[in-house]
Amino acid sequence: MTRMTRGISGFPIVSAIVAVFVAAPVVALLFLAAQGSGDLWPHLVAYVLPQAVMDTAILLVGVGILVIVIGTGAAWLVTAYDFPGRGVLQWALLLPLAMPTYIIAYAYLDLLHPVGPVQTALRAMLGLSSPRDLILPDIRSMGGCILLFGFVLFPYVYFTTRAMFVMQMASLVEVARTLGASRFGLFWHVALPLARPAIAVGASLALMDALNDIGASEFLGVRTMTVSIYSTWVNRSNLPGAAQIALIMLALVISLILIERYARRRQSYAGAAQRSRRLSPEPLHGFKALLAILACALPVVIGFVAPALHLLVEAMQRVQFAGISTSLIAQTINTVTISALATAVALAIGLVLAFTARLLRGRVTQMILRTASLGYAIPGTVLAIGLLGPIALIETFVGDAAHALFGISTGLFMSASGAALIYAYVARFLTISTGNIENGLARLSPSLDHAARTLGASASGVVTRIHLPLISPALLSAAVLIFVDCMKELPATLLLRPLNFETLATHLYGEAARGTYEDGSIAALAIVLFGLLPIILLSRIGQRKVAVEGQNAAESALLPERSR
């Protein structure tokens, strides 16, 4: 034990325990699936899995192509060109991140309904009176699902790819232009190959988000593997069968990560020793400027502005008609409380993991930290099923101990109190906490630690009096991101929430499932408003700093070679 680690020797032990708790759902899935699903498995193989696998594959391919085209194109336009409104569009292109996929599906189902505002306005313009006189393509389709997912999830690619474009040296561009390359040639032959790692990271994050969705896919009539897991568990009451489908889905997620790594296995990039200069944007005027504005504004309008305005109008009408119900207030309190508790726990554990990574750099430590970062790659539905076994073991152990020592019964204290839900949130979003805190610590020179210890400060004193104040921006960023992600999380919340415990997300899901969209508009608007917090935070931080940190955080979510 070195002098620097003396006094916090318990950190590696805590980190190992955290890794065990994060890995437990995957191990539990294996045991649960091994129990067999009885007579249901032949039915699943014959009728459920083929459609689920096919729909999931088509959805991922379509969404992947769309987010890459929109995200990369928008990132290049706002980086390489200067046109009116560019400064606003740079951050506005992040706004769709505030719109969860199930909310945009909910909004567009209402907007594009045959008697909704869009088709009603079109009929009025064309002089038509009956909905049968104007039949538009149904949004409840695979094509509609791909379009909506693409226009909501493209900011993942935009964020990481723009970071790469911003960091590219202007000298590379100047050399290419000197050799006669056009702007398109510069993009296709120079910028795009250099940005491939960032594009792969952003696209993988978008695809994992699409895999995690349950509300939008179900609303739009697309039977993905996530929907099949939920229906097999809840509707057919067959947990082993759901676990077997979950394992197949988990294998698909791992395959996505491995394909992403394989695609850039031989790619290495290095910048010059001197500080690189930013790419100088080329001014656009006239028709070209208008095209650039439209190309960047259209994804923002479709992915955020139109559904957000619709939710605002519907929410105002609902408030004027019936006010705000007390049940909605209670659900808001439930959502904020459970999200805040999960955020606090995730930050505390993230601090332990990040400090362990800073002080101990052995292979065992790196393996522990990598295992503790698995949760973000596990879809919420899969995680929820996997947590049932560990939660049951914990409740049984604590119940037996409490009965033996004090003669009391604790019952299902985790499931009934919401602790199981907090467990799921922390396991899923712990990577965000660890990644942001470790990024903050990476900017602190080790000489600060050595100087403080030389002056007699204890290890815990270095952490509390030096590290924590200096990394407070990273802590704030992690707290906001985790809090909002917890508020938006639907699959795990649906499956693990206590009885008679509703959040804004589950309330909206219930209203949409019943077809009473207008009754869920207030909850949807509240979720979107909370989702704007990370966007505001990112816009207030320096653009270049955010870009670099955003790519690092994105890479951490894909379990990179260097552990977070």
At residue 66, the pLDDT reads 96
> Could you tell me how many helices (H) and strands (E) the chain has, helices first?
28, 2
Residues 401-414 have pLDDT tens digits of 888 888 888 888 88
Look at residue 277 in the predicted model and tell me its pLDDT.
Answer: 57
* Strand, helix or coil for residue 81: strand
pLDDT of residue 547: 42
* CA pair distance 172, 503, nearest whole angstrom: 51
Contact status, residue 64 vs residue 199, Cβ threshold 8 Å: no
pTM (global) more than 0.85: no
Q: Among candidates 208, 250, 210, 209, which has minimal Cα distance to 229?
A: 250
Gap between the Cα atoms of 2 and 465, Å rounded: 20
Tell me if residue 283 falls in helix, strand or coil: strand
Separation of alpha carbons 535 and 389, rounded Å: 37
Q: What is the location of CATH 1.10.3720.10 in the chain?
A: 7-28+324-564, 37-264+284-308
**What are the per-10-residue average pLDDT scores of the chain (564 residues)?**
54 83 86 73 78 90 94 90 89 87 88 82 81 79 93 89 71 67 73 79 84 85 86 78 83 75 57 54 87 94 92 86 80 92 92 80 75 79 87 88 85 85 91 81 73 70 77 81 86 87 88 74 86 73 44 41 35
44: number of CA atoms within 13 Å, CB side? 24
3 state DSSP class of 82: strand
Q: Where are the alpha helices (DSSP H) in 443-503?
A: 446-454, 459-462, 468-470, 472-488, 491-496
pLDDT for position 564:
34
pLDDT given at position 74 = 93
pLDDT of residue 265: 59
CATH of domain 37-264+284-308: 1.10.3720.10
* 178 CA to centre of own chain: 42
Residue 539 has a pLDDT of: 64
Residue 283: what are its φ and ψ, rounded to 5°?
A: -65, 140
Name all contacts of 248-254 with Cβ < 8 Å and 24+ positions apart.
248/49, 248/53, 249/56, 249/211, 249/225, 249/379, 249/381, 249/382, 250/26, 250/29, 250/378, 250/379, 250/382, 252/56, 252/211, 252/225, 253/208, 253/211, 253/377, 253/378, 253/379, 254/377
Q: Which amino acid, one-letter code, is at 105?
A: A
**Residues of 151-160 as b/e, b for ≥16 C-beta within 10 angstroms?**
bbbbbbbbbb
Angle, alpha carbons 452-458-462 (nearest 5°): 55
Cβ atoms of 465 and 456 within 8 Å: the answer is no
Query: In angstroms, what CA-CA distances link 79 with 91, 114, 280, 553?
Result: 12, 40, 8, 21
- Residue 438 is encoded by which pair of tokens? 């470790």
pLDDT at residue number 553: 40
Alpha-carbon distance of 166 to 365, in angstroms, equals 34
Which of 198, 507, 161 has its CA nearest to residue 335?
A: 507
| CA nearest neighbour of 224 among 381, 99, 378 | 381
What's the pLDDT at 552? 46
pLDDT at 172: 67
Rounded (5°) CA angle 39-45-46: 95
CA distance 459 to 179: 56
Q: Which of 350, 289, 293, 317 is nearest to 478 (CA)?
A: 350
Residues 54, 43 contacting (CB under 8 angstroms): no
CATH code for the domain defined by 7-28+324-564? 1.10.3720.10
Q: Tens of pLDDT along 256-286? A: 777 766 665 555 544 444 445 566 778 888 8
